[in-house]
Amino acid sequence: MELLTLCDAKGKLNMQTVGYSPIPHIDANVKRRLFRRKNWNHWIVYGEEAVLTFLIADFSHTVVGTVSFFDLETDRFLMEKVDVTFNRQMALGSHPTHASHFIHDGLSIECIREEGETHLVAKVASFDGEPFETNLRIEHPAQDESLNVVIPTTVEEYQMTSKQLTLPTSGSVTLGDRQYNFHPDYSLSVENMMRGIWGRKVEWCWGVASQKVGNERVGLNLSNGWTDGKGYTDNGVVIDGKLHIINEELQFLFDPANVSDTWSIKTKYSTRVQLTFTPFFEENDVFRMKLGKLKIQRVKGYFDGIIELDNGQPLRVRQLLGTIERTVGKW
């Protein structure tokens, strides 16, 4: 498959790339625009015993690597983050199939794509005094569709995202002397690739889930803020590899002062999405950069409600484990 290049040599958007695709067909060759260019790869792994996240980000003036671990039984939460002005041992490709890595003292993340799967190896020298290491294999089923969209503000400010949902995952994680096992029948991952040229101020909400419901793999991707008023959204459902696009803006109704209260997520102008989200764990994070700061409020919890699919059939969501992030700041 021949890829479309996202922008030209001057960093201006190739308008042929704008809109949706069920396959990742963009070479996200984001160029120039120093300090405005923001690229990241973000993985979330939902297992039966634990939820893991991995982030490799290049914010132009700051490079970030993050690993987090959450034990679903004990609520034990651990996070290690490294942010530096420059890191020679960091790489982000221009397509979801490309390898990526972040190597630094005490923390490393390596994602190697080979033969339809990603081998994800991460190490943290000391997670609350204990060594941490992952050995995960994340499958990319050949026939699966994914949520890929290029959304412009102008030809000089635009974002491309590729969300690969419900990826079967196997392997293990060791924390100290304990091992957590991941089986593809009940462990599913999300790959979130974002490339683009952003404005100075940002605010968005992002909700995501990837779980087995009966015999089906069900993934949700729901967001607002960065897509509002632009004609396209980052909203969709993937069921057993079939993408259902929700090209409507969403409302995330919540109390910013108490994000552990119940959230409501609904479409603005229809009843296509009618969900609640009940958190059971809250975490807060701040990215401090030379030219700005991002504040992130993140909650883990359960989605409940109804989503209307492309064929008009209702998807009934009950106790679907997922995550919502609210991000506000300048960068």
In a domain? residue 13 = no
In a domain? residue 39 = yes
Virtual torsion, Cα 170, 175, 179, 184, nearest 10 deg: -20
Q: How many domains does the chain have?
A: 1
Gap between the Cα atoms of 150 and 214, Å rounded: 33
Distances (CA, A) of 197 to 155, 181, 209: 10, 39, 26
- Residues 41-58: what's their mean pLDDT? 97
Q: Which amino acid is at 300?
A: K
**Considering all CA atoms of the chain, what is the largest pairwise distance in Å, rounded to the nearest integer?**
52
Q: pTM of the entire structure? A: 0.96
| 75 touches 51 (CB < 8 A) | no
In a domain? residue 235 = yes
In a domain? residue 213 = yes
Of the pLDDT bands very low, low, confident and very high (cuts 50, 70, 90), residue 60 is confident
pLDDT for the residue 1: 77
Gap between the Cα atoms of 303 and 273, Å rounded: 12
Compute CA 176 distance to the chain's CA centroid, rounded to the nearest angstrom. 27
Gap between the Cα atoms of 22 and 245, Å rounded: 9
In a domain? residue 94 = yes
In a domain? residue 8 = no
In a domain? residue 17 = no
- What is the number of other CB atoms lying within 10 angstroms of the CB of residue 28? 27
Of the pLDDT bands very low, low, confident and very high (cuts 50, 70, 90), residue 40 is very high
Of the pLDDT bands very low, low, confident and very high (cuts 50, 70, 90), residue 325 is very high
Q: What is the pLDDT of residues 238-249, one digit of tens each?
A: 999 999 999 999
253 is in which domain, residue-wise?
Answer: 22-330
- What is the number of other CB atoms lying within 10 angstroms of the CB of residue 180? 19
In a domain? residue 78 = yes
Of the pLDDT bands very low, low, confident and very high (cuts 50, 70, 90), residue 31 is confident
- Residues 267-284: what's their mean pLDDT? 97
| 123 touches 133 (CB < 8 A) | yes
Computed from CA positions of residues 2, 109, 59, 295, in that sequence, does the dihedral angle turn out positive or negative? positive
| 118 touches 109 (CB < 8 A) | no
Q: What is the pLDDT of residues 124-158, one digit of tens each?
A: 999 999 999 999 999 999 999 999 999 999 999 99
Q: What is the pLDDT of residues 161-209, one digit of tens each?
A: 999 999 999 999 999 999 999 999 999 999 999 999 999 999 999 999 9
Q: Is the pLDDT of residue 290 over 80?
A: no
pLDDT for the residue 63: 92
Q: Across all residues in the chain, what is the average pLDDT?
A: 95
Residue 129 CA neighbour count, 13 Å, CB half: 0
Q: What is the pLDDT of residues 75-113, one digit of tens each?
A: 999 999 998 887 779 999 999 999 999 999 999 999 999
Q: Over pLDDT 90: what percentage of the chain?
A: 90
292 burial via Cβ count (<10 Å: 0-12, 13-18, 19+): middle
